[in-house]
Amino acid sequence: MRAPLVLLLIVTASGSLARAAHAQTADDVRLPPITVGTAASFDLARKGASDVPGGAGAILTFDGNVNRCVAVVTELAGSPRMRSIMVGGRVSTPYFREGAAPRIPGRFFAETLAGRNSGGLAPPGAVVQVGVGADLLVVPRGLALRWALDYLFSPSARHDFTGARFSIGIVVGPRLRHG
């Protein structure tokens, strides 16, 4: 019952944020064809979901930017519970500026990934992940801060490994155009 509620929250939040952001596009942010990201991830506590403890992990992403708003994503992730490799799509708002000066460019995104897990405490099998997040361009020459909230489904696991994960990290690639 919780999974449909989480999905509804993710879809609702991403839609309303996208409409607000699209109205204030930052046209001076350039995305290269490929961006690379890394993050620390943290399993969110969930009672009764699994008798296997979660913990901190790491994420490495490679994004093939099709255009300003669409990317093909490859994600390698590892935590005490499982290691996974997933591929999927990310849809985002264009970079935009909000509020008072210095008006740092940022964007919101939603993603869906699918793949396999192996190792850790989970048996090998299929995984599906949906999530939302944001990027803030903190260094104009190519470094963004990324945060994300994901929900992972592992239908083949004999324990219930389904659950949420928060991550925070950096993305190398997006930058301000000069001149």
Side chain identity at 132, as an amino acid letter? V
Specify the CATH number for the domain of residue 132: 2.40.160.20
Q: What digits encode the pLDDT tens for the residues 139-169?
A: 988 999 999 999 888 777 666 667 788 999 9
**d(Cα 57, Cα 44) in Å, to the nearest integer?**
12
- The domain total for the chain is 1
40: three-class secondary structure by DSSP: strand
79: β partners: none
Task: Determine the Cα–Cα distance for residues 164 and 151; give it in Å rounded to an integer.
Answer: 4
Domain ranges, residue 169? 2-96+103-173
The candidate with the shortest Cα–Cα distance to 89, out of 120, 123, 113, is 113
Q: What is the pLDDT of residues 3-25, one digit of tens each?
A: 565 555 555 555 555 455 445 67
The answer to whether the CB of 89 falls within 8 A of the CB of 74 is no
Predicted local distance difference test score (pLDDT) of residue 21 = 47
Considering the domain boundaries, does residue 73 fall inside one?
yes
Q: Name the pTM for this structure.
A: 0.80
**Is residue 179 in a domain?**
no
Alpha helical stretches, state H, the chain? 2-22
